[in-house]
Chain A
Amino acid sequence: MDTTRFSGRTQGGPSHVLNRRQLLGGIAGLGAVAAAAGHVRTAEASAVRTRARVVIVGAGAAGIAAANRLTRLLDGASITLIDARREHWYQPGFTLVATGVWPQHKLVDDNARYIPAGVNWIQSMVAEYDPDANRVVTDDGQIVDYDYLVIATGLALDYDQIEGMSTALIGQHGIASVYASPQATSLSWQVFREFAERGGTGVFTRPPGAIKCAGAPVKTALLTEHRLRQRGGRDRARLHYTIPATGMFSQPDIDRFLKTEFPRRGIEVEQHHRLLRIDAPRREATFATPDGERTLAYDVIHVVPTMSAPASLAASPLPWQEGEHAIGHWLEVDMYTLQHRRYPNIFGTGDINGVPMGKTAASVKAQVPVAVANLTAMIADREMTMAYDGYTSCPLITEVGRAILVEFDYEAKMVPSFPFIDPYTEHWVPWVMKDRFLQAAYNAMLRGRV
């Protein structure tokens, strides 16, 4: 695939129009909703009768979706969900709030609305995993025994790995970060809004290793550049996008597109830059580069931390012990069945999984039916037949009002849900999907319906 297949639509930006690929066309009213439903496998067999004790750790996107599906698939099982967090954060909306598209209140929901009746919700955090004894221990000392365990803890944001950085700084000294929390996204928009009017130097970082929604740092940079154009600060702004190696995106076609799009829009891509330190009062960021340390002065910095397994899981016997996924202490699951490779009564789903692809809500949508169906098969003493193909998706917003709907699998092959939505062209329809429909699709996923 060559980059010229991408549409480089340029209203307001530096002019340079790449060849456009003619789209195939189609009506999108229902299609948009359907695409939002995305890659769905509802392989719900008739419920399996069992008295098994199933414990799910984490009541985020994956944990709640798993609880809903298991409730329908298992008849008579005791299902326990463990998570202290009562609020449900719609994280795919974080980027929209941080760039002034949405208000903050759209991000926060109530977990209780989605947890099915009959599920025992323990509002604590798991502090210890003992897979040899089939039990977990919570931070308030409860011992919870299980026959089967589903791990859906999401991941930890390692802001403390950046010297001088803490989440308390977000919104101050020109520091923004869309990852930390709904409130941090609002504070980030305050920082970006001021920047869009005044201009200055903006530094947008991307850490090494696996991160959730790898498109979010890219979208934040592109949308901020668009906001600068809209609010008059573009001529006075200089933008840097720092990446730890040479790649900007794991899907090669999109990687090539971004390597053209960023320079076209005047965003300097700084390769081999890893953020080491922030001097907040002086507004300086120091990076490790192959030529030694480099310090950049900034007016605004978008900080994206490295990410890893939550501490209690990292300290347990459950993470990968070697290989690329050992670095982040990611859960050692088979990349297809999502079953733990050493403890067969444990399954993983969501961001915590040490698999080559898939730290998105879209992946959760594809992973949960697989993990749940395979767990059910195991309980029923049947063969596990479901396999996760690495499906992940990112509505890559390039400007307010347009996006590219990128969907791909383990082989980095584009797997568009709907052939009439071209994964190589910026369109309004994917933007509308992101803005209006994906939250509905996400909620349907939480309820285990897609």
Chain B
Amino acid sequence: MNFDYSDDQRMLKDSIDRLVGERYPFDKRADHGAEPRGFSEAVWREMVELGLTMLPFEESLGGLGLGGVEMMIVGEAVGRGLLLEPLLPSVVLAGTAIAYGAAPAVAEAQLAAIMSGETLAALADRATIAAHADAGGIRLDGRAAVVLGGDHAELFVLPAGDSAWIVPADAPGLAVRGYRLHGGGGAADLTLDGVRVDETARIALPAVTRALEAGVAFLAAEAAGAMRAALDTTVDYLKTREQFGKAIGTNQALQHRAAEMLVEVEQAASAAIFAALVAGETDAAERARSTAAVKAVIGKTGRFVAQSAIQLHGGIGVSQEHVISHYFRRLTAIGMLLGGTDAQLKRLAALGGFTGSEQHLRAA
């Protein structure tokens, strides 16, 4: 057992922390969001230059071949700074699906475009699309909702039937309605009416599962970073805000609420670590169970921390000019994306949870 960062991981953390510190002070964030694609093109280029878009992919595919812990480090910083750049949809979700599931030559070519930051890709996790083989190849019909990053994606990975398919955004028969999301980023609703793909576009379905697990792990890290930052901001406020002639943090009621926040923040940090380490697990059932548990826990902790942070701030906490309202919105969104808490708990129950019903001493 070892929960320490390696030297390389510490260096990665320093560089992403520096990027977030310099480029994403809260007063610059609104400007970034006001750019045409809803994020800072300049920061996105810097993230590419830092290698963040290459980080999780095998060296054979042109990536850096790093693992879950490195992605967690990045995710935490993204959460703390409330970054808007499309690392999650393009790299973590669509990129992972392509890396694990496309034919090697296709994967290499598509990932090169994604890692360069030039091509944005998106993966649909809420799709009902039918695939039919006919004389002209494969035909896709159906729809997908709230496809993360879909508002500016050039490329979609769309599950249909027993596979997923790489579909360019300008494919005939594909209609894309893009919009911005509460909490940052964008998404799209897609309608497919006779979209044509061929065998080279095929992605094996387990790769989509892998991608969604990587996505949940990234969201967990983001949530842990955002929660820690929301707690730090809140504790600072409790120490400096005075009412009735003393700091409001001297009231035991507020101390206890802040202490409860810390309990949940520690849980979130552990969830992020667990997700990062389980990403390398080869047993698919174990990964599925763990992912469900992680997502359920960050949903619950995120909600409590976000609500408490506002409550302890009083009125200023609901002002859009205050960062707390943005942590609230992002944490709320994280709780709902890639499967909400109820859906995750249902899965976890179906998978039998972690502990059997048998008496402990009777087990091997």
Note whether A and B form a binding pair: no
